[in-house]
Copies of this chain bind each other. A is one copy, B any other.
Amino acid sequence: MSETVEETSGAAATADAVHEDGLNREVVERVLAAVEADDHDALVAILDALHPADIADLLEQVSRGERRALITLWGVQLDGAVLSELEEGVRDEIVAELPDHVLAQAVQELETDDVVYLAEDMDEPQQERILRFLDDIDRAAVEQSLKYDDYSAGRLMQREVVVAPEHWSVGNAIDFLRNEEWLPESFYDLIVVSPQMHPIGTISLGRLMGSARKTRLKELMAEDFRSFRVDQSQEDVAYAFNKYHLISAPVVDGDGRLAGVITIDDAMEALEEETEEDLRLLAGVGDEELSDGVVEIARGRFLWLAVNLLTAIMAAAIIGIFSDTIELHVALAALSPIVASMGGNAGTQTLTVAVRALATRKLTASNMARVIGREGVVGLLNGIGFAALMGVLSALYFSDQTIGLVIALAITGNMVVAGLSGVLIPVGLDRLGVDPALASGTFVTTMTDMFGFFAFLGLATLMLS
């Protein structure tokens, strides 16, 4: 861990400081030793030097018993920010065990959007317990945010926004900012609003600072900024931030009034979440976390494996149809998985590219036909290549030209099927409004397994006699 980033304090601390920061095995061991020795002061001293995200990692990586002992020893000094950095499973476990006065103190330290992040995945009673500790204004803000859909722009935005009317000058804005007691932690643009609170322009702080006091905001502001509606998906938000290199963007309600602002750090997290989700869906893993228990994880993976079992049985049934042929030519039993496997892998390649191209919106109506045709041709080209290879190998090994021809034809056909189904299946799911990463993998390998076995064993039945 600690090699990655250095925390520089003072000019002298550079390369040498690299290993002193972050979470590494030595830090974990020192923490556990302090817990073991029941040494409160030593524990607080070590934890104070760590970033809340590192403390969260530490809590996730130790055992449940160690975690409980650590939290108990830490007591009221517990840093609220750690809670919002934790994985859901560990966080719920800790929150459930924290005494009320410790939890109250931790929650009151947080900004409202962190409280939302903390509360959104909790069940009702636990959510209630958290919200109880907030003052009325904060609680109302949190409850309002929780009303927006999960994974929506409304849920992602922060409600604290710095706005200015268009008739102000740069000097007015700076004086206003100086007199404001509280400014949001992440704040990069001043949003210029109409009297009806419609956003009409944005000014980056850099631009504001670089301009003379008397300049009118109206002259400075960019009018071609991008904004989001509260009900847009976080996927849309992440996509736009990444594509258009946004830093912050206003969020408007149904009437076009400013409701909040999304900043790039939130968008970055959303982007990571969305890409990670694709990767997990393609492999058939849900949103399990590394700290989850054995039973929870086994259960989460069971469904996908059950679907796979079903498709494997279907493939086995196809092999079963040809058992007479296999009895005559037992070599077919060894060769047929090769045909299926080549198709499955080629299909997965195409599928992965297609799923990402859909997610990054590179695959659209404009190039759809070209991409589908291309995948078919790529399958054909590689199919011919591997068909030639396996055809010759099989013909030589079994001293039987026909078996070489059969496997060559089956591989070629299956790789074309792989290329076409690898793109048509995710595109079809996408049209139906289903996440194309979700079930594509099963569909594609089912196609290639079944076609592969059927083509190979069917051709063998016809041609070997």
Contact = CB atoms under 8 A, between A and B. Distances in A.
Interface of A: 1, 3-12, 14-15, 18, 21, 23, 25, 28, 51, 53, 57-58, 60-63, 174, 177-178, 180, 183-184, 186-188, 194, 196, 198-200, 205-212, 223-229, 232, 236, 239-245, 247, 250, 252, 254-256, 264-265, 267-269, 271-272, 275-276, 278-280, 282-285, 288, 290, 294-295, 297-298, 301-302, 304-306, 308-309, 312-313, 315-317, 319-320, 323, 326-327, 330-338, 340-342, 345-346, 348-349, 351-353, 356-357, 361-367, 370-371, 374, 377-378, 381-382, 385-386, 389-390, 393, 449
A13 B335 CA distance: 63
Contacts of A63: 370
6 contacts: A21-B226, A278-B279, A309-B338, A312-B342, A320-B331, A341-B449
A256 B459 CA distance: 69
Contact of A265 (B247, B294, B297): B247
Contact of A279 (B212, B252, B272, B356): B356
Nearest to A29: B366
Contacts of A239: 4
Contact of A275 (B207, B212, B275, B338): B275
A316 B337 contact: yes
Nearest to A352: B283
B209 A345 contact: no
A334 B312 contact: no
Which of A18, A284, A309, A357 has most chain B Cβ within 10 Å? A309
A168 to B, nearest CB: 14
Given A25-B364, A242-B269, A323-B334, 7 more contacts: A177-B206, A177-B210, A184-B206, A186-B247, A305-B345, A309-B338, A326-B333
B288 A316 contact: no
B381 A209 contact: no
Chain multiplicity (copies):
2
Contacts of A224: 7, 9
B385 A302 contact: yes
Contact of A334 (B187, B196, B319, B353): B319
Which 3 pairs from chain A and chain B are nearest by CB?
A: A14-B256, A11-B198, A283-B352
A272 B239 CA distance: 11
A280 to B, nearest CB: 6
Contacts of A23: 364
B342 A308 contact: yes
Contacts of A377: 294, 298
A242 B270 CA distance: 11
B272 A242 contact: yes
A374 B298 CA distance: 10
Which of A58, A212, A242, A283 has most chain B Cβ within 10 Å? A283
Given A276-B275, A288-B353, A346 B305 contact: yes
A4 B232 contact: yes
Contacts of A14: 198, 227, 229, 252, 255-256
Given A1-B364, A228-B5, A352 B57 contact: no
Nearest to A281: B352
A334 B362 contact: no
A171 to B, nearest CB: 11
Given A276-B356, A294-B377, A305-B386, A15 B323 contact: no
